[in-house]
Amino acid sequence: METSRCVCRITTRAAQLVRGTTAPHRHVCTLGRRLVSPCVVSSCGSRVSPSHLRLLHVTAPTRGWMEARSKDADKKEKELIVHQETIFDEAAKKAQNKESFKAAIAKYLRVQGIYRRGHVEFIYAALNKMSIFGVQKELSVYKALIDLFPKEKMVPQNVWQVEMMHYPKQQQCCIDILEKMEFNGVVPDDEMGRQLVGVFGDKAHAFRKYRRMMYWMPKFKYANPYYVPRDVPSDPIELAIMALKRMAVDLENDIIIHKSKEYDTAVDRTFIASAQSPDQQALIAGHPADSPVYVEGGFKVWLREVCLTYFVLRSEVTQTFTTFHENKDKEEEETDSYLNWSIFADDTEKPAPMVKVPTSHEQEDGTILATCITGTASKDSVTTWVKLLEDTNPRLSKLPVVFLLKTEEAAIQTWTEPGDKNTHMSHGLK
């Protein structure tokens, strides 16, 4: 019994030295093995071997009754978060904007005052409600949440407290705030750094996360040459035009907005945004009559948090593309042979053959002839788009068109219009 009391006193004293406070016995299990010296003399003068101390951390029977957190601690924490969410639910009934969100934070400060009880649970509740109020991209809101932490009380005082993550619950909460900022593309500023130094110090794990964000996020913010504005428009037609402009590699690409009601046989009443350049029209005009063209989709394109579905009209690889690259490969082989030049070799220069350069729409997996985005992304709207393309591309009405659409239906369907000799097929793929 005397040995067990000595061990308890020693480990409690080690906890006090590491935390810098008077730690109760229930926090003993949070210490690591490296904090205990190989041979320790207790306050009663007896020596305790390291094996006794290791038993406190390793064996399963002792781990249960020395656990600092209760078994239902996670459940109680979730209940507290749900309880704190009622403040935001009341604010959402008035208005769902930034002013209402900050009013909920101000209400919490008025109730709790200087003690800030339950501030961690309140912050997690605020993070859960951000998307409802539409403030997930507002830097000032994240600063207001960080300002809820008590000042200068959680700053580590020594290297042990730094590495053992002093006040881990609060630091992890702050790291979750920074991760939500990173996910939404919100770049922190110097003022937030000063806030974190006042709360956790400049050596804490939360401040390390802030420094990494300050290094990498400004580098990647404008790295995309096809920059998308922070606030994308809500109009689906404007979104479709923006997406087609980003996907178009031809500067002469012309985007036309059609209404499906312009075509009498259309079932869906929606818009059709069609993109096509003069080079693509020339490719359709010179397309062989016995070679089909394909309508493929829908493919996904993202503009921030908005996902759009687009379709393409393409053909097989053209002879121009194949001839150009075959000739290019031969030129590269001849260039390599010049490295093995000899004075006895024939130095007569052979003129390179004249080969037509393919357009930017002719790729190794096919030739893109047109692109579109429709409001419903249905087979009927895509079929209407193809018929509308025939107004500017008369050659298309004489070509067989094969539909390869990713729809819920998996059966092959055929349709033929009166006076049309070509059978148009629609093949749905799950």
What pLDDT, on the 0 to 100 scale, is given for residue 39? 46
pLDDT, one tens digit per residue, over 311-330 is 999 988 777 777 776 777 66
What is the chain's alpha carbon radius of gyration, rounded to the nearest angstrom? 34
Give percent of the chain above pLDDT 70.
Answer: 70
My answer on whether omega of the bond before 297 falls inside 30° of 0, hence cis, is no
Burial of 373 (0-12, 13-18, 19+ CB in 10 A): buried
pTM above 0.75, yes or no: no
Band (182; pLDDT cuts 50, 70, 90): very high
The sign one gets for the Cα dihedral 348, 354, 358, 359 is positive
Exposure of 143 by Cβ count < 10 A (0-12 exposed, 13-18 middle, 19+ buried)?
middle
6 or 350, greater pLDDT: 350
Give yes or no for residue 6 having a pLDDT over 80: no
Of the pLDDT bands very low, low, confident and very high (cuts 50, 70, 90), residue 7 is very low
| CB distance 277 to 285 below 8 Å | no
Q: What is the pLDDT of residue 351?
A: 58
Average pLDDT over residues 260-286: 83
pLDDT of residue 50: 44
Query: Is the confidence at residue 366, as pLDDT, over 70?
Result: yes
Higher confidence at residue 23 or residue 238? 238
pLDDT-derived band at 344, boundaries 50, 70, 90:
low
Contact 15/28 with Cβ under 8 angstroms?
yes
Does the pLDDT of residue 11 top 60, yes or no? no
The pLDDT-based confidence of 339 (bands split at 50, 70, 90) is low
Q: Is the pLDDT of residue 137 over 70?
A: yes
